[in-house]
Every structure is written in C-alpha cells, then in structure tokens.
Structure 1
Amino acid sequence: MGSKVNPVGMRTGIIKTWDSSWYAGKRTYAKVLKEDIAIRKFIMVKLNDTGIAKLELERNAKDITINIHSSKPGVIIGRQGAGVEGLKAELEKKFGHKFTLNVKEVKKPELVASLVAENIAMQIERRVSYRRAAKMAVQKAMDAGAKGIKIRVGGRLNGVEIARSEFYSEGQIPLHTFRADIDYAGHPARTTYGIIGVKVWVNRGMVYNKQNAST
C-alpha cells in the first residue's frame, strides 16, 4: 500500500533549503540538535498567535541568528522594538548564547500552509462551520495567486459518533513533480468532541531556481 511523503521534506535540497544551518561534530551534534528544538519550541510558545510561518536558525562561533517569518511582524517587534528585545533577553538568559533576531513579514499568508491550517483550526475551535472555514481558505488562496490548494479535515466532524475525513480542493497539486513548490502543514483543532486534524497542501507554482522558492 502506497504512502504519501511529506512534500516539504521530499523537496528539501532540491528546491527548498533547510530551516537550520549549522555544523557540529559527532560528540556535540545531539546536544546542538536538542538545543535547536528547544529554542524553536520556546519561541513558538512565546509568540503564540503572531502568525509565525517559519523559523530559520543559523549558528556560528559568536552567536545564533534567528529569522522569524511572520504575518504579524508589528506584534512581535512591539513599540520601538521592545517586544523583540525582550524576547532576545529571555533567549540569552535561558540558553546562554548571544542571539540576533530578524523579523521578516510574510506578504501573502494565504499561500503559507501552516498559517492556513492554523487559521482553519482556530475557526473550528470557535465553533465556525468547518465547511465554511475550509471553503473560505480555498477561495482566499486562489485569489492570492495559488496554482492549487487541497485541505483535509478529519475527526468527529459536527460531533458525529464515527470519525470521517472531508477534502476541499481547487486547482492542481502535483505531488510527484519535484520542481512544483508545494507547501504542506497540519494543525490540530481541539474541540469538546475531540481533536479534529487539519492538513493543507498549497501549490505556489513551478520553481526552476532555488532562490525563486517562496517562504
């Protein structure tokens, strides 16, 4: 029986780059990797509901540079940069490294799978119809320039006894074409009936050069 591979991981090294850039020897690799994961979790918890699409970490001998891609950069930066400076101080205190934080704006959040999935999950938790939330997300993505989008909503939809899945799609999602810039993400919606899973695939067009790949 065939299995679907994560489209982002499948294209890493072909048209997509790694989210972390550093080198470590055999003795320190596990420690650095564990710290990398801890830094990401810390930032995601601290910056919850700020529309974070991607975190890029770069390590060198002097400091750790983190590029935060967000649809709400103003919320992260804060008044006169107080927000980002406070986050930097907390990171340095907790992990004992010097940090450089760069906040970058995501110009089209409708084309970022993680933000689309998170938005749909939040609407479901607020008791908005999952059909309405998914159809609106499809329409917004196509209006923003997507070549195709597919959304899967699965679980005890509307509180029914037997869990099921429903798909909503438009356009093309060529999963076997490696030069197709397919973004993929999932997000859980926690309801009184249990967890409803939301998965999103977004086709942002063909890429013939790594530098042309979207965030």
Structure 2
Amino acid sequence: MGQKTNALGFRLGTNQNHHSIWFAKPKKYSEELQEDKKIRNCIQNYVQKKKKTLELEGLTCIEIKKRIDIIKVIIYFAFINGNIKKEDRTQKILPRIQKLTMHVEQELNCMNRQLSIEIIKIAKPYGHPNILAEYIGLQLQSRVSFGKAMRGAIRLATGAHMGGIEKVKGIIIQIKGRVAGKDRKRIEWIKEGIIPLQTARAKIDYCAYSITTFRGVIGIKIWIFIDIDIDKE
C-alpha cells in the first residue's frame, strides 16, 4: 500500500516556501494558527461574495507575514478585469483593498496590530494548478465531458509557458467522484510528460480542489512539474 504525501509539504525547505511566516511561543502557537485560518477564510468568503464589484478573479495564494505590530497579507490573483487599464489599476483597486482591509479587521478584532493587504497579479495564470482546477470545475458544472475538460486544461497549461523562462515538463490531472453521472465513484486521470513525485529537488506545484455538481461532490487534483532545482544537491 502506497504512502501518500502532500507534494508541497514534502518539498518545504528545498524549493517550496511557507505561506505563513511568523514566530510564536509554544503556548500561543495554536492561537496564531487559528488566526491565520480565520484570515484566509475571511478573505476567500469576501472575494467570493464581491466577485463582480471587486473585479479580481482567480485567487491562487494568500501569504501571511506577522510582526509584533503589523500583519502583512499578500493576495495573489490571476486575472484583473479587462475594462480596467493598466495605468488606472492602482487608483481603482486601492479603494477596494481598503474596504477588504476594514472587513478583515472587523472580523479579526485586531486592536494591537495594524493590518496591511497587498494584491499581486501573477504573470502566467494558466501555469498555476488552482486556476486549472477552477477551469475544470466550471466545465464539469456546465456538463462538459471530463475528458474534454482535462485535455483543455492541459492545452492551457502547456501554452502558458511557451517562450517563458520556465516550461511545463509534465502535468497530471486526477478527477474522483461520480464522473459522467455513474452510480459508483471512480478515478479518472490524464498525464502529459514526466512527473518525478519522489524527487525532492523537483519543482512541482500541486492543488486539491472540490466542486459540487448535481451528481454530488467531485474532487480534482493537479500536479505540475516545472523543473529540477540543480542547486539543491
């Protein structure tokens, strides 16, 4: 029986960084951890509710950096509404960031520490597994066949890195649940290229995503192999 491990946690300290950076004493560690979870849930729920007015789509990652007097939150988005010009982004998005900051501060009730939120747009959105998982989820909810949805995601992933510094060398997409309306759950997967999951030096991005369809809950897992870090021998 194989022992499964998280592809990101397995590579912490080699080529994968922590999404939360802070120090706490053992007695307060659980409190800080719960606060991180509360911050992430609050931001995700707010973005989901205000999707149309916020004009930011594709939440990929939330980084939290804590100091004694400040909590810095960096939110990575994949897409910014095309109606906003590049030179006007800062002016138009800044008021929305301030509203988001006020909302999180009210939920957290942080009196002693200042909250700072920064938004960054990622360069190659379709090279990120979270975006591909959302794409597949929308396709499945629209009753598109799972094979067509997975092949479309692979085309997007391989096309996102063409001509870039890093190129996708391999990708695995796995779907589990009542696929294609079958009575029993099953696993369907597709692979393109190579995926060295047991190599710690390999730069592999991973995500687990779930959607609710009229047939039930379907889980989506995606592994993307970018390159091997030669420096980490």
Tell me the TM-score normalised to structure 2 length: 0.84
Instruction: List alignment gaps of at least 5 residues for structure 1.
Output: 211-215
Mapping of 1:41-120 within 5 angstroms?
Answer: 41-48=41-48, 50-73=57-80, 79-95=92-108, 96=110, 97-120=113-136
Aligned to 2:207: 185
Aligned to 2:164: none
Q: Distance in 2 between matches of 1:73 and 1:20?
A: 25
Deviation at 1:27, TM superposition (A): 2.1
Q: Distance in 2 between matches of 1:51 and 1:37?
A: 19
Q: How many residues align?
A: 210
Ranges of 4+ aligned residues in structure 1 off by more than 4 Å: 73-78
Tell me the TM-score normalised to structure 1 length: 0.91
In the alignment, structure 1 residue 35 sits paired with structure 2 residue 35: yes
8 Å CA contact 1:153–1:198 kept in 2: the answer is yes
- Give the fraction of aligned pairs with identical amino acids, expressed as a percent: 30
Q: Distance in 2 between matches of 1:4 and 1:171?
A: 21
Aligned to 1:151: 173
Aligned to 2:226: 204
In the alignment, structure 1 residue 174 sits paired with structure 2 residue 183: no
- The SS at the match of 1:204 is strand
- The SS at the match of 2:26 is coil
Deviation at 1:208, TM superposition (A): 3.7
Instruction: List alignment gaps of at least 5 residues for structure 2.
Output: 52-56, 161-166
The amino acid across from 1:66 in the alignment is: V
Q: Distance in 1 between matches of 2:35 and 2:150?
A: 36
- The SS at the match of 1:47 is helix
Root-mean-square deviation (CA, aligned residues, Å) is 1.9
Q: Which structure exhibits the higher relative contact order, with contacts defined as CA atoms closer than 8 Å and separated by 6 or more residues?
A: 1
The amino acid across from 2:172 in the alignment is: K
The amino acid across from 1:176 in the alignment is: Q
The amino acid across from 1:15 in the alignment is: N
